[in-house]
Each structure stands twice: as C-alpha cells, then as structure tokens.
C-alpha cells in the first residue's frame, strides 16, 4: 500500500499570493505547498482523496494516468474545485468515475457543479464534460471500494463534518478540529497517520500543531505526518521543533506500508 501526498498546503497555498515572507520566498522545494490532496495505491487500485484546485498539476507530477475512484473528505473549495480535471479519467474509462464521501459533500457537488451532474445539461457535440457518479458513505462503516477496504471516520471541522479515512495501517485526516472518542478508538493501531496541523497558535476549525502532536500521541501511530500547513512554518524549521515520530509532510512525499 502506498500513499502519495499530492498537496500539503492550506487553502491559501504556499507561497501565498502577494506575500514576501521568508517561507513564501524560500528556495526549499518542501516549502512550496499546493492545496491538500492525496493518492492511495493498493491491491492494483488507485484512489484519489479530494480534488484540490491544483489537481491537474499534482497528477502530472505524480504521473497518474488511471483512477478507480475518488474519496472526498468534505465540501470546501480547496478540496473540491479541481473536479473538472476528472474529465480525462471518465473519458479514458468510457464510463462514470465513482465518487464517494459524506452525503452533505456529495449534495454540495451536485449543486455547485450542476453542469456535471444534471443530465439535462449536455455538452455540445464534439465536446465533453466529466462523467461522475455519487455514492454516499457512512461514518464508522467499513466498505470496499475498488477492492480496497476503506473505513470512513467523522470529525468536527467548524460547522462542517469532515471524513477522515483509514486504510489498514494508514490513516489520512485533514481539516480536523476535534477527535471524538469513537474515531480515536478506530484509529488506534495505525502505523502511519497523516493529520492536519495549521500553525502553532489555536484556530477555531483546525488542529494547531500542539493539538496535532497531542492527537498523535493519543492515537499511538509509529509515524505521524503533519499536513495542511501554512506559510507560518517553514519545513526545515518545523522539522527541527517536532518530537520524535512526528514530522512535516511535503508535496510529493510517498508513504509505504
């Protein structure tokens, strides 16, 4: 099983538009963070997690030419607005590409991207649109998607509920603020965990770095990667300040199990 972190940045991305801070001007490639998304490869199948705005560039960098399904964590723009880049995959499949996620997220997609999901909206002859099908998931109910066992877990993210996913020994969580006991219990035993950590100070809808560290200790993962990072923390500086077993993620990082 292999998890590739396609993007590890916050909704603004790094560098931020118009910012001249040290991190935004950094020459360290690990400080260039596109919006958060990931790719899971297991048992011959490839699952995409979220469709961030830079999706085309992320998939080109990872040399992805095939997808079996897409998992969504939640409906916010930085996790969904690259959806049109799925068009090539449905064209290659000559069939609908299945999308999975919380029911609220799928309803958002249906409304926000009506041109995709409304059958009454058809492209002119000789053109195309993504052909996608929607399948709601239930939290805490494991399911098999393209031959891969997937356990969706629900977390609080401001007014939204966000899904994290466990795939065997790997867990992927983003845009989480609090970990309910049921989800914490379900995460125990994972060896590798990816979790959001916005910055050091508190935030109303995201874990801070200190809160993410505390969560990693509660879960007990052997290795924890911090994602959804801002320009307030450069990679090298943050790596030097984190405890053993916890490290900052970066775009293109590949995790193997």
Distance CA 43, CA 142 (A): 17
CA angle 13–104–150, rounded 5-degree value: 80
The string of DSSP letters for 206-230 reads: S--HHHHHHHHHHHT-SEEEEESB-
Q: What is the pLDDT of residue 257?
A: 87
Q: What is the pLDDT of residue 226?
A: 98
Residue pair 100/69 in contact by the 8 Å Cβ criterion: yes
Residue pair 73/163 in contact by the 8 Å Cβ criterion: yes
Give 74's DSSP letter.
-
Length of the chain: 257
Q: What is the pLDDT of residues 10-52, one digit of tens each?
A: 999 999 999 999 999 999 999 999 999 999 999 999 999 999 9
Pairing of strands 148-157, 160-167: antiparallel
Distance CA 192, CA 127 (A): 43
Residue 187 C-alpha from the chain's centroid: 17
Give 255's DSSP letter.
E
Residue in the structure block whose two tokens are 């030097």: 240
SS (H, E, C) 109-169: HHHHCHHHHCCCCCCCCCCCCCCEEEEECCCCCCEEECCEEEEEEEEEECCEEEEEEEECC
Statement: residue 110 has pLDDT above 90: yes
Q: What is the pLDDT of residue 194?
A: 98
The C-alpha R_g of the chain, in whole angstroms, comes to: 18
Q: What is the pLDDT of residue 157?
A: 85
The answer to which of 76-80, 105-109, 179-183, 242-246 has the lowest mean pLDDT is 179-183
Per CATH, the number for 2-256 is 3.60.15.10
Pairing of strands 148-157, 143-145: antiparallel
Q: What is the pLDDT of residues 121-174, one digit of tens each?
A: 999 998 999 999 999 999 999 999 999 999 999 998 887 899 999 999 999 999
For the chain, the average pLDDT equals: 96
pLDDT-derived band at 55 (thresholds 50, 70, 90) equals very high
Q: What is the pLDDT of residues 213-251, one digit of tens each?
A: 999 999 999 999 999 999 999 999 999 999 999 999 999
Distance CA 50, CA 67 (A): 12
Q: Would you list the domain boundaries of the chain?
A: 2-256
* Over residues 93-107, mean pLDDT: 96
Residue in the structure block whose two tokens are 């193997």: 256
Q: What are phi and psi of 41, to 5 degrees?
A: -120, 120
């Amino acid at each position: 099983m292999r998890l590739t972190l396609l993007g590890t940045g916050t909704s603004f991305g790094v560098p931020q538009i118009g910012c001249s801070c040290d991190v935004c001007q950094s020459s360290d490639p690990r400080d260039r963070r596109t919006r958060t998304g990931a790719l899971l490869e297991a048992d011959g199948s490839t699952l995409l997690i979220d469709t961030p705005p830079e999706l085309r560039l992320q998939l080109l960098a990872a040399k992805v030419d095939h997808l079996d399904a897409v998992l969504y964590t939640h409906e916010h723009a930085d996790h969904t607005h690259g959806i049109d880049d799925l068009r090539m995959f449905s064209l290659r499949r000559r069939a609908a590409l299945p999308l999975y996620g919380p029911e609220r997220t799928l309803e958002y997609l249906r409304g926000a991207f009506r041109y995709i999901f409304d059958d009454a909206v058809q492209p002119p002859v000789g053109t195309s649109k993504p052909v996608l099908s929607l399948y709601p998931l239930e939290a805490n109910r494991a399911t098999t998607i393209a031959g891969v066992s997937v356990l969706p877990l629900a977390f609080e993210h401001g007014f939204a509920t966000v899904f994290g996913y466990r795939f065997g020994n790997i867990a992927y969580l983003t845009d989480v603020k609090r970990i309910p006991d049921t989800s914490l219990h379900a995460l125990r035993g994972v060896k590798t965990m990816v979790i959001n950590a916005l910055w050091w100070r508190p935030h109303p809808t995201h874990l801070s770095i200190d809160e993410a560290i505390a969560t990693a200790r509660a879960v007990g993962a052997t290795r924890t990667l911090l994602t959804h990072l801002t320009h307030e923390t450069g990679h090298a500086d943050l790596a030097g300040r984190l405890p053993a077993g916890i490290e900052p993620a970066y775009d293109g990082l590949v995790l193997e199990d």
